[in-house]
Structure 1
Amino acid sequence: MVLELSQISSYCGLTYMSLLTAFDVETVAGFVFGEDKDAHMSCLSHVKHGAALSVVWGLVSEEVAHATKESLVAIKDDLHNNQTKRWQAIGTLKHVLSFVNLPWELKKHTINFLLCITDGCVSGEYLGEHSEWSSYMPNIFTALQAIKMVIMYAPEPEVRKKSFALLKAVLADIPDTQRFDILKALITNTDSSSMIAIFIDIVRREMHMEVCNSTSVKEAPDSNNEMHPDMPFWTPSVLELVESVLRPPRGGPPSLPDASDAVLSALNLYRFVLMTESTGKTNRTGVLSRSNLVKAYNEWLLPLGTLVSGIMTENKNDYDQLAVDTVCTLNPLELVLYRCIELVEEKLKQSTT
């Protein structure tokens, strides 16, 4: 049946590229639905599922690919070399990854295909109009969410590993100026502490890379909060990100030990920013301003320290497995937390404004 459908698609002029970029898909859907297109918009996602699966079956079966008389190698090369088409393809193939009931084998082939077209692609700055690339970001964001779910639930370690590589590749393909906002949105829309920790760690790595690549960090004589054009991650927004984990919007300290992965990652990010700004004699994030130091000390670190100390005291003399696991989980967090407290206390002694 798949072979026959592929032949029909080919007969109708629907190439793999047109299916991936979704242009002809929407055109055909509009033709089929006619004047009632708006009333059938809810069906469009199913149409796009079908478009994505048509391509994936070509990846799975050589017979299906041969029936379409198309070169998947040429298509991969075209997508690899064209950012707009690549984003469109990612937006189409996300439907395979997000569809819960599809076999993992199909998702595995989709991951491999996406890795091929994003391998080595580093966006930097997108050269198109702002309105053009920004229109693709919602699709890219939902694609990243779909990849996130594969990382969390794929039964095979190799699939999870490749999915994580794909996550980083897609993020690298996003314009520098948008990448932080996308990561922040992913963190905000994630309940898993481990995934939040992964996203925060990616933020820290991005910031480290910007420091390494920017001579301005070493040469800038002034200390201000203005964003350097080559360092879009080094803004006050990073402190807001840390605060969202260490002092959740609902108020009070985070839930421990459940959120320990996210909290540890946020503390490591805060420590990294604090030490880097101090060493470089910069203050792009505002982390060294006295008001932010006082806020971090009184509202984030001390309440967290009280919570951690209480939990550790409660469990240190208890030898059941849950208590042992809790202590082991909080040990590294406690070490980083008290190092952060020491650093902030040191900076507060030096700060007069």
Structure 2
Amino acid sequence: MDVPRQLDFAARNPQVPAMDRPKLTILLAAPRGFCAGVVRAIDIVERALALYGAPVYVRHEIVHNKFVVDDLKAKGAIFIDELDEIPPGERPVVFSAHGVPKSVPADAAQRRMFAIDATCPLVTKVHMEAQRHHAEGLEIILIGHRGHPEVIGTMGQLPPGAITLIETADEAEALAVRDPEKLAYVTQTTLSVDDTRDVIAALKRRFPEIKGPFKEDICYATTNRQDAVKSIADRIELLLVVGAPNSSNSKRLVEVGLKSGCPRALLVQRASDLDWSMLQGLSVIGLTAGASAPEVLVNEIADAFRAHYDVTVEKVTLRDENVSFKLPRELRDQPAA
């Protein structure tokens, strides 16, 4: 936390004297925070900076977290919206973990750019499924959120009209298709497991011949973090999810907490976002983080509560994660500059 932010936080949130602090238990849900795809994407940018020096250009936010983006900016990354913002030269450009339409790497190749793809391998899996279904002559239904970068990237793998996007079970019920016996579906990787199950059930009931993925598209990290929230939801008075407002998986954690019995759930980015007038009289809260939120922000939130409460932290670990993904070949086994 930078000094001005610390001073501002302290001014608005004066510390309660130790003898007057009520007791509070924080149930720290696990798994939480960074997933393997996010770790890989950040490592790609940092490795590119180490190998090739600054600047390294990044198309869109590498992951949906301001703290992470600002940290990479300080190290020499420059974030751009489109490739035409990059001046001529041979500087690396990294594509975000959410994936990009095929037109983007094609444009980079035409411009003779040194492009590095940080797309999460589990998103790439969805791209390959969609391409395989299309090659088999199937109409493809994508379950996802309109406007999300991952959805834009997946739909951009195929020609316009090849993929139909739906968000809800109601849309599945109203869906009109060309041939009900030539259908397949794929999903965004960061959806609510429960909500997506309802959409898939509606599709299968209406179109019994529809093909799905060999293995569920919703990624292991999304599922694990949602299950961890479910495991504590009926024990807590408030769930705090550390994450960005444009992070799909973080917003889903808020929804899962509320649907699983927690009376109140909030999405927060930093400790300075906490409104202490709304955080009085608590005895047990839950704390977790979306897959693109670093652990330092979780610790920051817990420390902020220690200024107001006599805090006991109880770690609740649902399962362990040991997934990792390799860096792209062009970044491996090379000495840093």
TM-score (norm 1): 0.24
Specify which structure has the higher proportion of helix: 1
Structure holding more strand per residue:
2
| TM-score under structure 2 length normalisation | 0.24
If asked which structure has higher relative contact order (CA below 8 Å, sep 6+), I would say 2
